[in-house]
């Protein structure tokens, strides 16, 4: 008898013939209920895994893996079945998730999606192990002759420690999921590291197969849900065959249109989707609701389920509600279409999809109020149409798959925060790789102003970004990024900041090294009375923006170079690069990035969060979350309002350089 069987027998387990291949797992209740228990006693907490739920049934040397809906998954994850077979117990039923991890060790469902696609494409036999996966086990339901589902969760967890050792088995292919006592602290960690969320499990609770119970509660740090595909639209250029998927969800027996998703679809995913969608294409819509008007729309039977990350729901002037900032994550063969029930009434705030002409202000309201009175969401400002017609909205503008339409919606959400930094500046509109748009296109609308000023010996030319419509013009012109220098339009001989960029190659990037170098620049600036603030500038780069008041442009110019030189001499790691830069990415605009690099948004940071934040994770969704507060104030306010004697500060730095040289 194995140690696990001995403990089950000692605790009074009863014999029972549990068949794991016919078992539907226990499910969590909605996350809005779960947030109340994070700080309470009487619960244990686990990281919510961003993977595929799997029941493993082991009978001697025979191992069967089953999805949530009891469909066989053994051949799709054959190496996991082989690893479970090595466990000492001859009879087991385990519950857990199969997970793929990214380079930082975080669960990555999009990466797992490639493995799922490989499994869907096979015709019998084992699926190729193209993406490494791990089976993370959090419950044991049967061991030896005993059915232990009636045991309290603490007892089942203790039995599990005797089944799977702390180091796992088969080189870590099968691991035991750890538990935590402090749910609030665990949830904060999820926020900081962009993990999916927390699962709270009530102490003393039994395992209730097939039920969604309040004894298990999920609290998500990011919004994601499953939707059923109800059609697709054709796109432009390389997305001509499939530009976006139409998505639906069930309200009781009614299937309702919820929006479209185009971001996150690459060529291989489109091939896989069309292979599955074309055979189920039909002539007429299968869902209720107001579809967004799109030419070349195809409809299909509601059979294919996909996972989508999103930023809430939008309400248009007619009251129709659609997903905001949706990103495709993968196909969910383990989820039934009828289980797709995501709705704006699930405690998620609704946001108007149109904005005030001058400041693009975003209005929010509780979902229940917006459902009954959509006009209240927009406040007392009349909704208006965009002044820019965005052509080919499904065409990809950022190399991560972000489309023009998604980027327009993003700018509508963050416009108040972005415009407070861009107004009156001379801005450059940049294409994805960083090339500036100049001269303006012939079709440039009259409301888009350009300017040409002389700052000292330099000529500055660019655009005046003073409204949401100019941001939408930038998208239509193929320019997702915006940069500005330290000059304003009506004071070309005055600079109000200098900037030092701290960067390191991503393959050698250490968060602590970037933060330490940035703090060296901050300390030097503070010595001579200059305020500073860090701004994300890429996946492994930070701009330290230093306030110089209203300094003559020629006097301010050398200051950034002196700060960079002194910081380099202060013991910064040799592979960390510091350089003075003449312009910075405008806060809340995406930073220029090469193919293969994460799309990072420039965000003003606080110094105390610089050690914690993952720069590569500051994408569009993270920026939207920060935008409401940043529309009023952020860490750059002190830099912008600085009152300093820049000539005296420069001389002090020059003396510092000379002193260190001797």
Looking at the predicted structure, is the pLDDT value of residue 509 above 60? no
Q: Is the pLDDT of residue 33 over 50?
A: no
Q: Where are the alpha helices (DSSP H) in 175-298?
A: 183-193, 267-277
The CA distance from 297 to 394, in Å, is 13
Summarize the confidence of residues 290-305 as an average pLDDT. Answer: 85
Q: Please write the tens of the pLDDT for every residue from 374-394.
A: 222 222 333 345 677 777 777
- Biggest distance spanned by C-alpha atoms of the chain: 88
Q: Please check whether residue 472 is in contact with residue 386, taking contact to mean a CB–CB distance below 8 angstroms.
A: yes
Between CA 115 and CA 196 the distance in angstroms is: 20
pLDDT in tens, 261-272: 988 888 888 999
CB atoms within 10 A of CB 218: 19
What are the helix (H) ranges across 209-356?
A: 267-277
Closest alpha carbon to 428 in 407, 459, 403, 404: 459
Res 124: pLDDT: 45
Q: Is the pLDDT of residue 97 over 80?
A: yes
Checking phi first, is residue 310 left (phi over 0); if not, alpha (psi -120 to 50) or beta? beta
For residue 313, the model assigns a pLDDT of 73
Question: Which of the two residues, 322 and 371, has the higher pLDDT score?
Answer: 322
Whether 540 and 616 have beta carbons less than 8 Å apart is answered as yes
CATH numbers and ranges of domains, the chain: 3-220 (3.30.470.30), 224-377 (2.40.50.140), 404-488 (no CATH), 494-655 (3.30.70.3300)
Highest mean pLDDT among 58-67, 312-321, 337-346, 456-465: 58-67
Please spell the DSSP secondary structure of 596-648, one letter per residue.
Answer: TS---B--B--GGGTTT--GGG--HHHHHHHHHHHTT--TTHHHHT----HHH
Reported confidence tier of residue 351, pLDDT bands at 50, 70, 90: very low
Under 8 Å between Cβ of 255 and 230:
yes
Q: Residue 90 above 70 pLDDT?
A: yes
The conformation of residue 150, written as its DSSP 8-state character, comes to T
How many angstroms separate the CA atoms of 298 and 291, rounded? 12
Over range 520-541, report the average pLDDT.
Answer: 90
| Residue 142: both structure tokens together | 């049967």
361 — pLDDT class (breaks 50, 70, 90): very low
Are 308 and 327 within 8 A, CB to CB?
Answer: yes
Share of the chain above pLDDT 90, in %: 38
Degrees to nearest 5, angle at CA 49 with 44 and 51: 150
Paired sense of beta strands 541-552 and 321-323, if any:
unpaired
Tokens describing residue 359:
């400041």
Please report, rounded to a whole number, the percentage of residues in the chain having pLDDT higher than 70: 85
Q: How far apart are CA 265 and CA 271, in angstroms?
A: 10
Long-range pairs for 251-256: beta carbons < 8 A, 24 or more residues apart: 251/341, 251/343, 254/288, 255/228, 255/230, 255/286, 255/287, 255/288, 255/302, 256/287, 256/288, 256/289, 256/343
Q: Catalogue the E-assigned strands of 121-222.
A: 134-143, 146-147, 174-176, 197-202, 212-220
**Cα(348)–Cα(429) distance, rounded to whole angstroms?**
34
- Which pLDDT value is given to residue 642? 73
Q: Check residue 291 and report its DSSP letter.
A: P
Report the pLDDT value the prediction gives residue 315, as an integer from 0 to 100.
58
Average the pLDDT over each of 142-151, 203-212, 413-422, 650-659 and give the range with the smallest value: 650-659
Distance separating alpha carbons of residues 463 and 134, to the nearest angstrom: 50
């Amino acid at each position: 008898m194995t140690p696990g069987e001995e403990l089950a027998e000692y605790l009074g387990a009863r014999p029972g013939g549990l068949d794991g291949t016919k078992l539907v797992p226990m499910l969590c209740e909605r996350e809005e209920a779960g947030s109340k228990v994070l700080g309470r006693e009487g619960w244990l907490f686990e990281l919510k895994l961003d993977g595929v739920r799997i029941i493993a049934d082991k009978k001697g040397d025979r191992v069967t893996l089953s999805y949530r809906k009891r469909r066989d998954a053994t051949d799709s994850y054959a190496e996991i079945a082989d690893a479970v077979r090595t466990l000492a117990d001859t009879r087991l039923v385990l519950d857990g998730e199969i997970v793929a991890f990214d380079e930082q060790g975080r669960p990555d469902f999009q990466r797992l999606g490639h493995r799922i696609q490989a499994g869907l494409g096979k015709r019998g036999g084992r699926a190729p192990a193209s993406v490494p996966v791990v089976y993370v086990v959090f419950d044991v339901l049967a061991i030896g002759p005993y059915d232990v589902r009636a045991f309290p969760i603490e007892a089942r967890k203790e039995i599990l420690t005797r089944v799977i050792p702390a180091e796992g088995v088969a080189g870590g292919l099968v691991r035991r999921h750890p538990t935590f006592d402090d749910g609030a602290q665990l949830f904060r960690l999820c926020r900081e590291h962009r993990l999916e969320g927390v699962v709270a499990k009530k102490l003393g609770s039994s395992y209730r197969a097939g039920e969604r119970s309040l004894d298990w509660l999920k609290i998500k740090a990011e919004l994601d849900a499953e939707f059923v595909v109800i059609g697709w639209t054709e796109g432009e250029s390389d997305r001509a065959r499939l530009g976006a998927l139409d998505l639906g969800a069930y309200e009781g027996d009614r299937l309702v249109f919820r929006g479209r998703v185009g971001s996150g679809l690459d060529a291989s995913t489109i091939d896989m989707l069309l292979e599955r969608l074309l055979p189920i294409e039909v002539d007429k819509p299968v869902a209720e609701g107001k579809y967004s008007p799109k030419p070349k729309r195809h409809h299909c039977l509601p059979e294919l389920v996909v996972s989508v990350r999103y930023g809430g729901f939008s309400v248009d002037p007619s009251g129709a509600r659609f997903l905001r900032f949706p990103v495709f994550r993968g196909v969910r063969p383990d989820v039934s279409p009828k289980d797709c029930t995501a709705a704006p009434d699930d405690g998620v705030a609704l946001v108007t999809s149109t904005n005030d002409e001058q400041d693009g202000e975003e209005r929010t309201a509780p979902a229940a109020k917006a459902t009954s009175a959509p006009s209240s969401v927009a406040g007392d400002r009349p909704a208006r149409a965009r002044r820019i017609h965005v052509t080919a909205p499904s065409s990809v503008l950022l190399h991560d798959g972000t489309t023009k339409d998604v980027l327009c919606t993003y700018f509508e959400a963050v416009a108040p925060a972005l415009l407070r930094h861009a107004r009156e500046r001379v801005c450059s509109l940049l294409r994805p790789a960083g090339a500036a748009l100049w001269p303006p296109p012939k079709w440039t609308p009259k409301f888009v102003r350009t300017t040409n000023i002389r700052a000292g010996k330099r000529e500055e030319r660019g655009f005046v970004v003073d409204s949401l419509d100019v941001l939408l013009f930038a998208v239509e012109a193929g320019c997702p990024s915006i940069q500005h220098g330290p000059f304003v339009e009506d004071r070309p001989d005055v600079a109000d900041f200098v900037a030092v960029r701290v960067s390191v190659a991503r393959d050698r990037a250490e968060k602590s090294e970037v933060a330490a170098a940035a703090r060296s620049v901050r300390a030097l600036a503070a010595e001579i009375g200059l305020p500073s603030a860090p701004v994300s500038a890429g996946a492994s780069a930070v701009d330290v923006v230093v306030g110089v008041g209203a300094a003559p442009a020629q006097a301010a110019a050398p200051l950034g170079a002196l700060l960079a030189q002194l910081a380099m001499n202060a013991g910064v790691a040799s592979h960390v690069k510091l350089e003075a830069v003449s312009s910075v990415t405008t806060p809340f605009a995406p930073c220029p990035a090469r193919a293969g690099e994460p799309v990072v948004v420039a965000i003003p940071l606080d110094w105390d969060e610089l050690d914690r934040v993952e720069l590569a994770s500051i994408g569009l969704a993270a920026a939207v979350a920060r935008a409401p507060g940043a529309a009023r104030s952020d860490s750059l306010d002190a830099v912008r309002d600085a009152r300093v004697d820049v000539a005296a500060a420069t001389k002090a730095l020059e003396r510092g350089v000379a002193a260190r040289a001797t």
